[in-house]
Amino acid sequence: MSLRERLQIALKEAMKAKEAERLSTLRLINAAIKDREIAGRGEGGEQDVGDPEILAIMGKMVKQRQESARAYEEGGRLELAAKEIAEIGVIEEFLPRQLTAEEIEAAVKAAIAEAGATGIRDMGRVMAVLKGRYTGQMDFGAVGPKVKDLLA
């Protein structure tokens, strides 16, 4: 079952159960996917968005909500921060399990070996291997410096 089908089933279940907050978040996910499809049509590219792209969209949504929650907490708006955190919980239900630090370290070393990377100039190839294999399972912003350290 594709990720899009799972999202549609969850959306219908949330409607039937009258879970307003969950339904709202699922609709936001669907809207982001539709936006990506529309942008793809304008570029003359593929119209259908696949699972890897959906995972990337949802990963970006989680990051946005984490930043918003942090800003709301700093501003003393705890009720808004709690809403953002609840949305993160709904989105993460559809994301694969996040890798542990040890698993990330092993994945980076394997990607370096696979790409045949010997120096910092090969960082792009290593990151491409990681993104192809671990989309949605790790934060590539945090992994980048680790890759850089290992290649230096």
Q: List the domain boundaries for the chain.
A: 3-92, 101-151
Write out the two tokens for 123. 């960082």
Contact of 28 with 61, CB cutoff 8 Å: yes
**Type of residue numbered 16:** K
**108-139 pLDDT, tens per residue?**
889 888 888 888 888 889 898 888 888 778 88
Residue type for position 94: F
Q: What is the CATH number of domain 3-92?
A: 1.10.1510.10
Q: Do domains 3-92 and 101-151 have the same CATH topology?
A: no
The amino acid at 147: V
pLDDT at res. 150: 84
Q: Tell me, which fold does domain 101-151 have in CATH?
A: Arc Repressor Mutant, subunit A (1.10.10)
At residue 151, does pLDDT exceed 70? yes
104, 105, 112, 140 from 126: Cα distances, Å: 13, 13, 6, 11
Residues 6+ apart with CB under 8 A from 70: 81
What percentage of residues in the chain have a pLDDT greater than 90? 39
Give 100 or 46, the one with higher predicted confidence: 100
A 10 A CB-CB count for 1 gives 6
